[in-house]
Amino acid sequence: MTQYGKSLRVNTTPIPGLLLWDLPVHGDNRGWFKENWQREKMMAAGLPDFGPLQNNISFNTAVGTTRGIHAEPWDKFISVATGRIFGAWVDLREGPTFGKVFTAELDPSRAVFVPRGVGNSFQTLDPNTAYTYLVNDHYSPDAAYSSVNLADETVAIRWPIPLQSAELSAKDRAHPRLADIYPVPGRKVLVLGASGQLGRALRDVYRDMSHVEFANRADIDISAGDLESARRWCDYETIINAAAFTAVDLAETREGRATAWKTNVAGTAALARVATDHRVTLVHVSSDYVFDGTASRPYREDDPVSPLGVYGQTKAAADQIVSTVPRHYILRTSWVIGDGKNFIQAMLSLANRGRDPSVVNDQRGRLTFASDLAKAIRHLLETHASYGTYNVTGSGEPLTWEDIARQVFTLTGHDPQRITGVSTDTYFAASDGPISKRPRNSVLDLTKIKASKFIPSGDDALADYLRPVLERKAKPAGTA
């Protein structure tokens, strides 16, 4: 019999993410009424914002009708419209709770949220029982999912009505035993721009994770216009966008401007639509170039943007687009150094070739090593930090490019006095093509990322980056 007068309440279970709900049901001489699913109240009480797309109903005539155990590739909110059921849920996901079982009786005053990968089954206890599902993906007959036999000895569900007396389909009777099925893998992570400096650092940071995929532009071009069909996006938990047009001076040309807007803005907008439509977390990398560099203090995440050039304008526009995605992280960074062509490698090459460079001395900021940025991304995702914008750079003292060049020369045994400091205007005075304006102050405030328990590299990071160079230099000639 339906219980009236309950308060809305969520109850956790031994299966992570499987939530049992008590629902208020209001009854009188006419019958009863309930709010079966209420987004605002239930989210406040602990229900994930799972984004239901389809409502299904299973009507079961006879007592003892038994269905399952199925782990479809979507989340489900399940309740009983009329009648009663004995529900049984089995965790079929990869991880330490694989095979864990939870059972409960449901009537119209009780519901359950079943996360993707948890096997769902039930047995009717009353005739003419209607069992309802809210699911967050459209049903497809081609969808592949795991199932386990209702009579599995390891799972050992104590069905109220013995299965030999119950109503089962031939298909459900033939499902494999738990020992014969593969655990359901977690939703995947996709790294875009995997051949760039940050992409290569992410490959290293995620090298132990089989569910992380890497794609370069040849695999997925975010500006091509066919992004929606590029993957089965409901299989993905996170997209990390390390792809961007970063040639700041080329962006000032007619052709470069069009390419920068197409890649950095139109491509990012396409990613934002995919992420929003499929409940995917979108990680986006932004830049100090969204600011004009006139502030007298480090820039905070909530400071208004005012980019000086086309590149900064496209990154600022992309930030605004990504901020509309319900699950997003924007990592704003500066002066990225990784595996590939960069300022440090250029200074090292000049030092070794006996060249005495002129280096800009009126721009201040902090280096960001790509390895640090990649670690920060993984940290935010794995700690489930609050969504939003985070400044991520090295945590050392702000320096000019001249200061950094002198450090490179000193650390590698070259005379730092060979370097001449010049203004930005002087440095670019002889350039033939258009030059983008640079922010003079690129220092970003790191309070928020440090509060998330991530501590960026400090003043020793440059020496650590150069250590392989110094170790090769120290080896005697002819040694391996």
Exposed, middle or buried, 344 (CB in 10 Å: 0-12/13-18/19+)?
A: buried
pLDDT of residue 2: 77
Is the confidence at residue 5, as pLDDT, over 70? yes
| Helix, strand, coil share (%) of the chain residues, nearest 5 | 30, 25, 45
Burial of 443 (0-12, 13-18, 19+ CB in 10 A): buried
Residues 57-105: pLDDT tens digits?
999 999 999 999 999 889 999 999 999 999 999 999 999 999 999 999 9
Distances (CA, A) of 478 to 353, 467, 473: 22, 20, 12
Contacts of 224 (CB under 8 A, 6+ apart): none
Of 155, 142, 56, 165, give the one whose Cα is nearest residue 99: 155
Catalytic residue (one of 4, 26, 131, 133): 133
How many CB atoms lie under 10 A from the CB of residue 110? 23
The mean pLDDT value of the chain amounts to 94
Tell me the pLDDT band of 210, cut-offs 50, 70 and 90. confident
Share of the chain above pLDDT 90, in %: 85
3-state SS assignment for residue 128: coil
Q: What is the pLDDT of residues 298-343, one digit of tens each?
A: 999 999 999 999 999 999 999 999 999 999 999 999 999 999 889 9
Q: Which residue has the tokens 């299965």?
A: 163
Q: What is the pLDDT of residue 476?
A: 59
Distances (CA, A) of 224 to 101, 227, 238: 46, 7, 20
Please tell me whether residue 10 adopts helix, strand or coil conformation. Answer: strand
Residue 480 pLDDT: 53
Domains of the chain: 9-180 (2.60.120.10), 188-474 (3.40.50.720)
What is the average per-residue pLDDT within 152-167?
A: 97
Encoding tokens for residue 325? 């995605």
Q: Of 4, 70, 145, 211, which one is the catalytic site residue?
A: 70
Task: Extract the tokens encoding 178.
Answer: 């738990």
* Banded model confidence at residue 234, pLDDT cuts 50, 70, 90: confident
Residues 414-449: tens digit of each pLDDT: 999 999 999 999 999 988 889 999 999 999 999 999
Q: Beta strands 236-241 and 281-287: pairing type? A: parallel
> What does the pLDDT look like over 128-142, one tens digit per residue?
999 999 999 887 777
CA dist 456 and 451 (Å) reads: 11
* pLDDT tens digit sequence for 356-411: 999 999 999 999 999 999 999 999 999 999 999 999 999 989 999 999 999 999 99
Categorise residue 167: left if φ over 0, alpha if ψ from -120 to 50, beta otherwise: beta
The per-residue pLDDT for 394 is 96
Looking up tokens 């993906």 gives: 137
pLDDT of residue 139: 79
Environment class of 153 (CB within 10 Å of its CB; exposed 0-12, middle 13-18, buried 19+) = exposed
70 counts as catalytic? yes
Determine the pLDDT at residue 473: 64
Q: Going by DSSP bridges, is the β-strand pair 328-333/388-391 parallel, antiparallel, or unpaired?
A: parallel
